Structure 1
Amino acid sequence: MRKLIMWNVVTLDGYFEGEKNWDLSFHELVWGKELEEFSLVQLKSADMLVFGATTYKGMAEYWTKAAEDPTEGEVAKFMNEIQKVVCSSTLKTADWNNTTIVRNAAVEIPKLKQQGDGDMFVFGSGNLSESLLKAELFDEIRLCIAPVFLGKGKLLFSQGIPHKKLKLLESRLLSTGGILLQYAPGE
């Protein structure tokens, strides 16, 4: 059975994106050799990526072009070949390689978890992550905390998330000052 894992970089005050779509400039504060290696380990454990419509469009646009960039190498190849699911009730087509559209994530994601052995990762996708949290579908939450107060933007966790105790699986300090945190739902 697959595990569904959330992966996000967030600021210390909880923002996963700045005021504008794709304002991820704070990622530069934590990016380095350690986070790059961690990201590759995660990707190699995955057999499916799950996105909301906005994140899907942005990732598809970036990674299809990055395939031609020799510096993106292994990651671009992986991102373009892995099976992908985009959760959207409005998206008509999904042209990025190996993509399936799912209309109702709360119904379809549990079925997909039963169909494989690798990990399923949700990257970014704030609205989708919130709905999957409310449905209690995540097996793990992995965050990299960037050492900055952004002050405004899009929060990863809204006030509508139900109270849930989490169990710390791992924490790791990065040389960039970021902190990797891995949690599972608690007892």
Structure 2
Amino acid sequence: MGKIVISENVSLDGVIQDPTGDEDFRHGGWFGRMGDEDLMEWTKVEYDEALGTSALLLGRRTYEWFAARWPSRTGAWADRLNSLPKYVVSSTLDDPGWTNSTVLIGEVAAEVSKLRRELDGDIVVYGSGRLVRTLIELDLADELRLMVHPVVLGGGHRLFGENGYETSLRLLTTRSVGQSLARLTYAFARDA
């Protein structure tokens, strides 16, 4: 059975919006504030995560961002991401175009539950804020991996936002990455 793993870059105050500065968000581009050593160590962590991933699950906007960049890249990390099965949740995307990509058109709960039954290993969700909040609200997420960046933005879309639901997590691991980043891994705690 597959495990839904949410993997996010997040500011210290929980913002996930526009880390690369592509969305015209006034605080966008915060991801690029890390130094070279932090970037090198971040890359190692992300590459290792890709090696341990069975499939990617993405929302449409995040999928389109990845699909516009990774197919033309070379190297081991690009080869891994390009070869992985990719599932995109969308009601508007017809032809995904990126190798090994499948559009999930139906109800999110049913489609993701089916993926969990059919796949073994980690099904990693990058970015995809709306999808992530839906997965958490529907109690479909199993693990949360946060790469915490040492910036406070004071505004923007947050991982949990004003969602109206409550969830409990259990800390699994902590890890320093480079000189300034922290990797926190949590399990979603299920009621007994």
Fold in common (TM above 0.5): yes
Instruction: Report the CA distance between 1:117 and its aligned residue.
Output: 1.8
1:176 aligns with 2:179: yes
Q: 1:127 aligns with which of 130, 133, 136?
A: 130
Specify the alignment match of 1:13 in structure 2.
13
Report the Cα distance in structure 1 between the residues aligned to 2:22 and 2:70, rounded to whole angstroms: 20
Specify the alignment match of 1:2 in structure 2.
2
Which consecutive segments of 4 or more residues in structure 1 shift more than 3 A?
none
Report the Cα distance in structure 1 between the residues aligned to 2:164 and 2:185, rounded to whole angstroms: 18
Amino acid paired to 1:16: I
Instruction: Report the CA distance between 1:91 and its aligned residue.
Output: 1.3
Q: 2:47 aligns with which of 32, 35, 40?
A: 40
Specify the alignment match of 2:108 in structure 1.
105
Report the Cα distance in structure 1 between the residues aligned to 2:59 and 2:83, rounded to whole angstroms: 18
Q: Deviations over 1:53-106 (max 9, x none)?
A: 000111000101223xxxxx1111111111000001121211110010002221
Report the Cα distance in structure 2 between the residues aligned to 1:57 and 1:116, rounded to whole angstroms: 23
Report the Cα distance in structure 2 between the residues aligned to 1:63 and 1:46, rounded to whole angstroms: 16
Amino acid paired to 1:182: T
Aligned to 1:56, what secondary structure does the other structure show?
Answer: helix
Q: Structure 1 residues 86, 97: CA separation in 2 closer, same or farther (over 3 Å shift)?
A: same
Report the Cα distance in structure 2 between the residues aligned to 1:47 and 1:143, rounded to whole angstroms: 19
Instruction: Report the CA distance between 1:161 and its aligned residue.
Output: 5.0
Deviates further, 170-179 or 1-10 = 170-179
Report the Cα distance in structure 2 between the residues aligned to 1:90 and 1:174, rounded to whole angstroms: 37
Instruction: Report the CA distance between 1:138 and its aligned residue.
Output: 0.7
Q: Provide structure 2 residue ranges, at least 5 long, that are not aligned to the other structure.
A: none
Check whether the contact 1:6–1:140 (CA below 8 A) recurs between aligned residues.
Answer: yes
Check whether the contact 2:22–2:29 (CA below 8 A) recurs between aligned residues.
Answer: no
- After TM superposition, the structure 1 = structure 2 runs for residues 3-152 of structure 1, keeping only pairs within 5 Å, are 3-18=3-18, 21=23, 25-28=29-32, 29=34, 31-67=38-74, 73-103=75-105, 104-152=107-155
Percent sequence identity is 31
Amino acid paired to 2:10: V
Aligned to 1:7, what secondary structure does the other structure show?
Answer: strand
TM-score (structure 1 length as normaliser): 0.90
Q: Provide structure 1 residue ranges, at least 5 long, that are not aligned to the other structure.
A: 68-72
